[in-house]
Amino acid sequence: ALLGRVPNRTPATLPGYVRRRIKERVYPALYPDPGSQVDGEVLSGMSRRELAVLDWFEDEAYTLTKVDVTFDEGSEWEPGESSEPVDAYLDPKVVMAYVFTSPRDLHGEWDYEEFRQVHLESYVVMCEEFAEDVKHNDLPGDDEVDEVE
C-alpha cells in the first residue's frame, strides 16, 4: 500500500535488537537490545524514490542504521554490485534498518498476530492515504537514480 508494490523480500534475523510496542501506536519499533534478535525480512530492489518514501514515512522518530543480519538457511539474497563508491544508503550490499530513538515511548512486546487481526486493515488504509499524499511532492524521482538492490 505504501509503495504501490511489494519489493523483493528475503527472510533474515537481526541480532542485537528487539521489536517493541510504541505507546499509542499499532506498529512496532526496532530498538537495540544485545541479548535479543528480531526475525524479519530484508527488502531489496527498491528505487531511490521508494527509499525516500520510506524515509519520509518513518520520520524523525527513527534513525536509518547500518545493521548486520543473518540470512535464513536456503534464502537467496542477491545484494547486487556497486561498481563505484556510494554512501551506505544506496549501496546494494549494505542492509539498513529504521531504529527507534525514543526508549521512553516503548512498552512491551509487539504482537504480529494481534496487529494482523485487529489493526492491519486500518493500517493499510493509513499507508494508502500517506502514499497518495506523497505522490506529487518533490521526493527524488525514479529517473534520478537507477533501481537500488
Q: What is the pLDDT of residues 102-112, one digit of tens each?
A: 999 999 999 99
Q: What per-residue confidence (pLDDT) applies to 30? A: 96
pTM of the complete model beyond 0.85: no
pLDDT at 31: 96
Question: Among the options 58, 60, 144, 147, which is catalytic?
Answer: 58
Ranges of the chain whose pLDDT falls below 50: 82-86, 143-149
Among the listed residues 27, 115, 32, 39, the one whose alpha carbon sits nearest the alpha carbon of residue 70? 39
Asked whether the beta carbons of 127 and 1 are under 8 A apart, the reply is yes
Q: At what angle do helices 120-134 and 48-58 cross, to 10 degrees?
A: 120
Q: What is the pLDDT of residue 136?
A: 74
Spatial distance between the Cα atoms of 45 and 113, rounded to a whole number of angstroms: 27
The predicted structure's pLDDT at residue 83: 45
- Quote the pLDDT of residue 81: 52
All three cell numbers of 83, joined, read 561498481
Whether 41 is catalytic: no
Supply the pLDDT for residue 77: 61
So what's the pLDDT on residue 147? 45
Q: Please report the pLDDT score of residue 89 as a whole number.
A: 61
- Predicted pLDDT of residue 132: 85
pLDDT recorded at residue 1? 75
